[in-house]
A and B are shown apart, each in its own frame.
Chain A
Amino acid sequence: MRRFRRTLSFVVALGLLATALGAVPGLLPAARASSHREAPLISADPLADNTDLYAFVSPDRANTVTVLANFIPLEEPASGPNFFKFDDNVLYQIRFDNNGDARLDLAIEFRFRTVVGNGDTFLYNTNTIDNLSDPDWNVKQFMDVTARIRQGDPNNPTFTTFNLGTNLPTPPVNIGPRSTPNYETNLAVPSISTVPTGAGDIKLFAGQRDEGFYVDLGSAFDLLGLRPFNPAHLAPLPTSNGVDATAGYNVHTIAIQIPTQLLTATGALPTGPTDPNAIIGVYSTASRPSTRVLNTNGTQTQTGNCANGQGIPTADPTCVQVSRLANPLFNELLIPIGTSPTVSENDKDLYNAQLPATDVNRIDYVRGTASRGVEPVRLINLLYPPVLDAPTSGRNDLVRVFLTGVPGATRPPVQNDPADPSAGPGAVPSELMRLNVAVPATAPGSVNRLGVIGGDLAGYPNGRRVGDDVVDITLRVAAGVLLPGNACAGGTANCNQAPNNQLGDGVTQNDKPFRTSFPYLATPWSGYENPFHGRECSSTPDAPCPSPSPSPRP
């Protein structure tokens, strides 16, 4: 506002320059207008793509639970002029099951609405954005948040809607020191909304954050390479440090911090970790409205973000769930993509479209059968000869991590467990992130990135905290560290020993320190300052520009 009065004309000049560059002959020649209408080739839908879910007891606010759901994978911070935002047409939801029946008891719904201030410009901002109401910020997005709460019989549920807030602010994306200075203080923190309730405040936030998931994708996609274990690979390479492939990228996060008793089935705080009401199941989704291709009466159909009263699964066929997520890596690693000729095995899209109660049909992917071993376990055994071969079938330990909860920690009392006849009878196995809300948060200095297998019971797979190293945890669990007795190497060795319990991709922390308070994920990288995706370089041979950024996550 005060500074950079000439920003507008300067940015316009840049835009023209870009236009001129684009028209350079041979670089982008004029398209041949086809005589038939060719739709885009690839159908990717990142705006509705749910990438990570976190659920944990808030470390800085007792008796509250925080849930974060991330969307829009691998946002390049320098993405102008087409900056990222939530899609106004998508219904974003965090869904809870609090009585162990794998059915919906509570949904927190986020809907967005973009408001363009000045229709005469395409610019995101015409000068510095100093605060959330700054008129120089041209493309603002507001949100409505509602809670949908099940009433009465779970077999015949009705849902009551509570409005948690309308026209709540969301921050702009982090552009750089000229457009969005003091991003966290001026823009992100003021976007946190507080909703008072009888049980305490609910906090809400939605906006851009640093990608908190860290993984060495480049190596993982090169035949499941784990750089610290390079010499042990079937195709050995020298040992090296892991490379954080998601460093320097952002995501869009929806976040809620909610008093614990608003989540439990009884509406009370659980008495302790063994209280049957202490365990909640969480997953997140994105849904889009379908529409009639042709209208019988010749008038237009309304589209919209699965408007009010819609969006409750199975009750609303016009609202199509296009993305679902609970445990990290579940769809990526365990759901088969299938190969010809039986591509009907490709279950990834169907998984996204279905409800957790259907996951009982996926139990064999997780447990493994004699004819079809658990895919990632098979790969680890094959590619790392020194690893004590973990069993590829009968893996009830994996079923518990992903589908039923771990007895004594995250398994609800009514949950069926195929490995435990005393459990249930009750809910079918279903893929949920299960959190025991009565296990207190670990003090910040004592957090172990390996969570439960590292002796830190407040971490994954008891919920998931922002720093939990889910890649290393999942690798070690796949290699059998939770299996009792001598289950590895053909039943001759305990799996919980080296190298099985040492596996990892060599990336052990995020590229940025996390916030210590809500919404915990770190401030997003700005397009201007990004040490990972660009540093000063010149076109002369002695100071070459860095190579292009890593390939996107599939």
Chain B
Amino acid sequence: MSRRYLLVAAALCALTASCARPAPENDLDALLMPLAGESEARSPVDRQLSAARSLVRGRASDPKGYNLLAAAYMQKAREAGDFKVNEKAMEALDRSLRIAPDNYDALKLRAKLLLTFHRFEEGLAVARHAQSINPDDHDNYGAMTDALVELGEYAAAVEVAQRMVDLRPDTSSYSRVSYLRWLHGDDQGAVEAMRVAAQSANPQDPERVAWCHVQLGDALLHTGKREEAEREFDRALYVFPGYGAALGAKARARAAAGDFEGALDIYRREYEAGPSADTALALGDLYAKLGRADEANRHYASFETLEPENAAAENDMHHLVAYWTDHDKNLDEALALARKERARRKDIYTCDTLAWALYKKGLHAEAKAAADEALRLGTRDPKLLFHAGMIAYALGDRDGGARYLRQALAINPQFDVRQADAARRTLEGRAA
């Protein structure tokens, strides 16, 4: 349960004496206990949760109920942005697989869930096991694609995604096609596939529709079409009001338009509704950009408090390492963690994080090797290009560095609240 839920629960408790709810008798009761704030009348996912709980209570030895419960908890975590709910999903799947070790639905869900926990190798292994049971289920190829992308096995990812879209073209396969095209530098092809994905999405699943529009907006942003991109974020908020992923995207689009106050406003309202590490960091950077150092530091401090909990839950130090590196803090620890992650996987973002950490420690030659790896697919991501550019400058390659920086700024002149300015300063020959 997130801190926010605890707070809400405490408030409700004071008002209605609902805190008199009896303590769970055993683990199963804990697993089946409704989350604070659930409302069957309001939310389809809450209805799913309730139905799955009834099924488990009615037939505790049937794996199906646990599978449905896990799927509902996973969707709940996704919609509510409450990562901890995934732990309940994992427990439900553990129970299902104890009852029937090779039951396909549980294996398939477990593969997806392991990816959520950033346990990519394990997720891939479970998905492959599921594939050996049912080789024709396109859905499972989605999990395999995601795992391979995260591990940096791009050729294999493309192969699996091709099998997926040939088995069944639909939103889930088109959206993978889009991402792989984008990673390989085909911005226009990415936009096109994501547009089809958005059009094909289930209209009765607003979160999915909104998710597609956020992805489409991001793809458009990468082709320099900021206004069209922002319109997609607005559409996402229109079909699924209050959607966190869309609010963040909308704020980024505002910042990209140079409307920092507008971006600040969105993040501030989100932060006041419930502080999250991501929002804290975005606010910190925006306040810093606007020269409001006290407020910036307060939000950086908030990030430093909130993020470690996320990092532990998600088994993912990436955000923390990127923050340290960007803000010149804990650089030794950052580099050590980046090296450790690079030993575990070789996706372009892990390579990029390592490159940037090496650069900050002055290990420029090694940084260049890592940056080259990060750009090995030709991905047109301004942040990757910015890092490569700064590293080239550090190695005395002014022409190469300038080329990268200009490329980054051409894709999106405001690609990052801090780094876009640093790129411009460097190009103008001033200190970054």
Contacts and interface: CB of A to CB of B under 8 A. Distances in A.
Interface of A: 15, 18-48, 75-76, 79, 81-84, 87-90, 122, 288-295, 298-301, 303, 317, 320, 322, 338-344, 346, 349-350, 353, 545, 548, 551
Contacts of A22: 240-243
Contact of A40 (B104, B116, B135, B172): B172
Nearest to A119: B231
B362 interface: no
B172 A19 contact: no
Given A32-B83, A322-B169, A82 B203 contact: yes
Interface in B130-148: 133-139, 142, 146
Q: Is the interface of B mostly helix, strand, loop or mixed?
A: helix
B235 interface: yes
Contacts of A301: 189, 192
B57 interface: no
Contacts of B319: 35
B278 interface: yes
B99 to A, nearest CB: 10
Interface centre among A293, A301, A322, by most chain B C-beta atoms within 10 angstroms, is A293
B80 interface: yes
Interface string B1-40: 0101100100000000000000000000000000011011
Contact of B136 (A23, A44, A298, A349): A349
Interface in B91-123: 100, 102-104, 112, 115-116, 118
A90 B200 CA distance: 8
A287 B171 CA distance: 13
A30 B166 contact: no
B44 to A, nearest CB: 9
Q: Is the interface of A mostly helix, strand, loop or mixed?
A: loop
A30 B189 contact: no
Contacts of A294: 158, 180-181, 184, 186
Interface string B146-184: 100010000000100110011111111011110111001
A32 B82 CA distance: 7
Interface centre among A27, A122, A294, A343, by most chain B C-beta atoms within 10 angstroms, is A294
B133 A343 contact: yes
Given A40-B172, A41-B75, A89-B199, A290 B242 contact: no
B239 interface: yes
B273 interface: yes
Interface residues of B, number: 106
B243 A31 contact: yes
B318 interface: yes
Contacts of A20: 241
Given A36-B118, A44-B202, A28 B242 contact: yes
Given A320-B168, A350-B136, A300 B189 contact: yes
B203 to A, nearest CB: 5
B158 A293 contact: yes
B276 A293 contact: no
Interface in B184-234: 184-186, 188-189, 192-193, 196, 199-209, 211, 215, 234
A26 B274 CA distance: 8
27 contacts: A19-B241, A22-B241, A25-B4, A28-B243, A30-B244, A30-B248, A30-B276, A30-B279, A32-B82, A38-B116, A39-B172, A40-B172, A40-B207, A40-B211, A43-B168, A43-B170, A43-B172, A48-B200, A89-B199, A288-B170, A292-B162, A293-B162, A294-B181, A317-B166, A340-B104, A344-B135, A548-B47
Contacts of A291: 165, 169, 174, 177, 193
A28 B310 CA distance: 19
Given A40-B205, A82-B206, A29 B146 contact: no
Contacts of B421: none
A350 B196 CA distance: 24
A30 B314 CA distance: 17
A297 B239 CA distance: 37
Contact of A42 (B75, B103, B146): B75
B103 A45 contact: no
Contacts of B142: 39, 43
Contacts of B36: 26
A298 B185 CA distance: 9
Nearest to B322: A35
B133 A81 contact: no
A27 B244 CA distance: 12
A293 B177 contact: yes
B78 interface: yes
Contacts of B39: 27
B133 A32 contact: no
A548 B51 CA distance: 12
A29 B81 contact: yes
A23 B80 contact: no
A40 to B, nearest CB: 4
Given A31-B244, A38-B78, 14 more contacts: A21-B242, A27-B42, A30-B247, A31-B80, A32-B81, A37-B146, A40-B175, A43-B171, A47-B200, A47-B203, A294-B184, A303-B193, A322-B168, A353-B167
Contacts of B112: 41
Interface centre among A20, A23, A40, A291, by most chain B C-beta atoms within 10 angstroms, is A40
Given A83-B203, A291-B177, A294-B181, A299 B189 contact: yes
Contacts of B177: 291, 293
B192 A303 contact: yes
Contacts of A34: 116, 314
A35 B170 contact: no
Given A26-B37, A30-B247, A87 B181 contact: no
B373 interface: no
A82 B180 contact: no
Contacts of A89: 196, 199-200
Interface centre among B100, B172, B176, by most chain A C-beta atoms within 10 angstroms, is B172
Contacts of A87: 199-200
A177 to B, nearest CB: 23
